[in-house]
Chains A and B, each alone.
Chain A
């Protein structure tokens, strides 16, 4: 994997939603500089923003509100990438705890359970079919495998879905809404395809 050629900084929204060691390790391997965003004023210091997240969407939203960052994220005009629960936060609502979320992209986050007969969580490597020419998938195969771990999914939408995956139903593996991007899978754990995606994001303007 080539190293990042830009000295631009990624700011990671640091709101205590799970472990970010693997994410920072991947950025280190790729030579992508990054720092932590703990409060609103720090957002302006970075060129691109990543919202990580594992665990419960409602809990993540509460922590984001407590940190005071929730109200500012929707106003960011630089590229933003939400990963896993960080992606779900961009939507209006999650069935997980019936939680209202950031409401940036007009989509809903739904539970797999009761909608599919497959095992839940959806855990492992699945094919991601990108469409709409989203730049985060540059130089990535049309049906590349990425690593998923989740029980809730964002519904498929012809306008906002940047890539879809099939697991009992067709859902959004990635979304794009103007400068806001989201991926349901874990690029930091998805081998070379995942590293390529992080590198692509680090080159976005």
Chain B
């Protein structure tokens, strides 16, 4: 059986991690490569880097980051942020990225998913979706959750799958940052309809939240940032707890 995956997410800007990190044995908490290496040693199954660099040098700095990570880290990783066209993804593939994630660019130009799946294989294409409840329905949001679209989240995810997404990273903006747990009901609803892997994101606050999201929604992976960065949850302890609750982890 496939193990459920635990995925720390790192925000990176100009080659440095953005959010504070509270690891005791880090020489440089701003160095994404050292942090990634530490996470891989702790038993993280995969890593996601979200590059929020906004300068015109972005493509180059992102590629350098990916190369540096690929040289050091022996687990798979995804890079997202600012990938708008095939050429962006091509550079990252050849820099050693295992997957790329696209979000707003795919909503604005859904054909991008088809193009990327055809060029690089579906296993390379993660479609990240930010969702928010509005008047009893779930809508896709852009620009980090600030801009509402009229597209219902479930419809968009089904479309992304049919266009060649290899995996969906679904962030519930209502839960993100609350530390009150994942949106298990909605994640279950989506997961039951998907035949590609689903990564849950938004709301992790304690170990029980990870137990719940796997038991209640059966998603393939759960992603979190601050609870790992601040050492509030240690990955080896989290895995022990999941194992104790009968959830298969590596």
Chain A residues with CB under 8 Å of chain B are 18-19, 21-22, 25-26, 28-29, 54-56, 118-127, 145, 147, 149-150, 166-167, 186, 188-192, 194-195
Contacts and interface: CB of A to CB of B under 8 A. Distances in A.
23 contacts: A18-B93, A19-B93, A21-B67, A21-B70, A21-B94, A22-B70, A121-B122, A123-B123, A123-B167, A124-B2, A124-B3, A124-B45, A125-B45, A126-B2, A145-B3, A145-B250, A147-B75, A149-B123, A167-B1, A167-B2, A189-B74, A189-B75, A190-B74
Given A22-B98, A167-B2, A125 B250 contact: yes
Nearest to B99: A149
Nearest to B40: A191
Interface of B: 1-3, 5, 40, 45, 67, 70-72, 74-76, 93-96, 98, 120-123, 166-167, 194-197, 220-221, 250
Contact of B1 (A28, A29, A166): A166
A76 B94 CA distance: 29
B194 A119 contact: yes
A25 B3 contact: no
Contacts of A120: 195-196
Nearest to B221: A124
Contacts, number: 86
Contacts of B5: 124-125
A184 B97 CA distance: 19
A29 B75 CA distance: 13
A118 B197 CA distance: 10
